[in-house]
Copies of this chain bind each other. A is one copy, B any other.
Amino acid sequence: MPQSPAPLFETILYLTRAIRAGFELRVRAQGLTYARARLLAVIGHNQGASQAELAQRLDIETPTLKRQLDALEALGLAERRPLAEDGRKHAIFLTGAARIEPLLAFRAEVEAAFSDGIAPEDLATTRRVLARMAENAERLKRT
């Protein structure tokens, strides 16, 4: 859309692409992406969870999660184990090769770079405003 007062939506969409691109500069070579790193971290904090649980934590749909998990498994960073007590579910675990701390550090670096020259109180306001917009969006979805 063309420029309104100030293209808020355009900026948000642009930042989404920039966040991914900035992060992936550092992890591309390892076969990782922003989404895969996010999944890796959530598995780490929820060892043994099912795919449905992970998808809920990540707020994505299960088919989207499946492909990312396939990729992590192919990279040897995560594994599916069948559950004896429920033939439908898989329990998902990190392998020993997975290390999530560097990924969190990369993400923090990108966030710091993007926040350069912005007053902390303005950043806090922005966090609050965007969280409220997300709530509003969530509420709309229910309708």
Contact = CB atoms under 8 A, between A and B. Distances in A.
A86 B138 CA distance: 49
A42 B14 CA distance: 16
A8 B37 CA distance: 16
Nearest to A19: B9
A116 B137 CA distance: 10
A130 B15 contact: yes
A12 B2 contact: no
A103 interface: yes
A8 B130 contact: yes
A129 B79 CA distance: 40
Interface string A1-30: 110101011011111101101100000000
Interface string A97-121: 0000001100110110111111000
Contacts of A22: 137, 140
Interface string A54-66: 0000010000000
Contacts of A83: none
A12 B9 contact: no
Given A1-B41, A16-B12, A133 B107 contact: no
A127 interface: yes
Interface in A35-67: 37-38, 41-42, 45, 59
